[in-house]
Amino acid sequence: MSESSVPPPDRLVIASRESRLALWQSEHVAALLRRRYPRCEVRILGMTTKGDRILDSPLSKVGGKGLFVKELEEALAAGRADLAVHSAKDVPMVLPPGFCIAATLEREDARDGFVSNRFASLAEMPAGSIVGTSSLRREAQLRERYPGIEVKSLRGNLDTRLAKLDRGEYHAIVLAIAGLKRLGLADRVRAVLEPEVSLPAPGQGALAIECREDRSTLRQQLAAFDHEDSALCLRAERALSRALSGSCQLPLGAYALIAGTQLHMRALVATQDGRRILRAEARGPKLEAERVGEELAGMLLEKGAGEILASLS
């Protein structure tokens, strides 16, 4: 069936987490759907996931990324919702049987940002300063480059994290720039952390639309929103993460960029304390994105990533 012959949807329900950022993301997709399918009724089904409810433990200790999507997938499976909108970095690297990523929207800035009310940069912070992050990946890279700072766990949605900073519980926090931009908070970023300083998480900055695999017409309707280069970068990063059993327990960074027909990808695997960080990079045709990701995973395994993985299990 060609794109022009795909019938427009009459009604679509989007399953969404209820944080302000998640609802922005779902409203953004709803607006795109209404623009393309003006006669379609689109509504959002707000849900609270287990990941939103458990805030007193690091994600790596309570089950990882799947905690943010499981309830949304249950709504898709039961037919209460047609699609779910996720931050791609929150989507487990292996989807449950029967689900698929139907579209990847054009990627926003994938970098991390340094947010502080007292300091202009990480380099300016004196020894003993407290930096908050929820990510083992960020923690390892911070400890490697700035061994004098104290890294403390920081959970909660974006507004909660900023509130904790503003109350003085942390001297600085590190957040994904994409989320701050989407909520009109880009001015909170005091310094951009380039990938050389803080390599992003797989999928960071991208939005993924998930639906049931057996909804073939819906998949074709959603394919209209797929941004090819962003989708290829996401596939490369997810392929690498799958090959390394990537989860919240593994400090893992992966970032792909496309120039012309070529894909360039950097990746790292680390111990949480940052004392050992393995880095590698690879290039290849963008249409072979998953192969490039798998090859890069192999390069990291050759450097000893398997030992780090084994130490975490």
Greater model confidence, 170 or 92: 170
Active-site choice (52, 56, 82, 90)? 90
Return the pLDDT at 54: 46
Lowest-confidence range among 66-70, 86-90, 192-196, 234-238? 66-70
Average pLDDT, the chain: 92
The yes-or-no answer on residue 56 being catalytic is no
Return the pLDDT at 245: 80
d(CA 118, CA 161) in angstroms, rounded, equals 16
Please compute the mean of the pLDDT values over residues 34-60 and round it to a whole number.
76
d(CA 76, CA 84) in angstroms, rounded, equals 8
pLDDT by residue (tens digit) across 146-193? 999 999 999 888 999 999 999 999 999 999 999 999 999 999 999 999
**Domains defined for the chain, CATH in brackets:** 3-105+206-226 (3.40.190.10), 112-193 (3.40.190.10), 240-312 (3.30.160.40)
Q: List, in order, residues 6 or more apart from 177 with CB less than 8 Å away.
A: 108, 109, 110, 111, 112, 113, 186, 189, 192, 205
Q: Over 50: is that where the pLDDT of 63 sits?
A: no
Confidence of residue 4 (pLDDT cuts 50, 70, 90): low
Q: Could you give phi then psi for residue 18, rounded to 5 degrees? A: -100, 10
pLDDT by residue (tens digit) across 259-276? 999 999 999 999 988 899
Return the pLDDT at 212: 98
d(CA 248, CA 135) in angstroms, rounded, equals 8
Give residue 86's identity as a one-letter amino acid code.
H
Q: Over 60: is that where the pLDDT of 52 sits?
A: no
Please compute the mean of the pLDDT values over residues 240-252 and round it to a whole number.
83
Q: What is the DSSP code string of 201-256?
A: PTTTT-EEEEEETT-HHHHHHHHTT--HHHHHHHHHHHHHHHHTT--TTS-EEEEE
Q: Over 90: is that where the pLDDT of 236 sits?
A: yes
Task: Provide the sign of the torsion angle of the four alpha carbons 31, 34, 40, 41, taken in this order.
Answer: positive
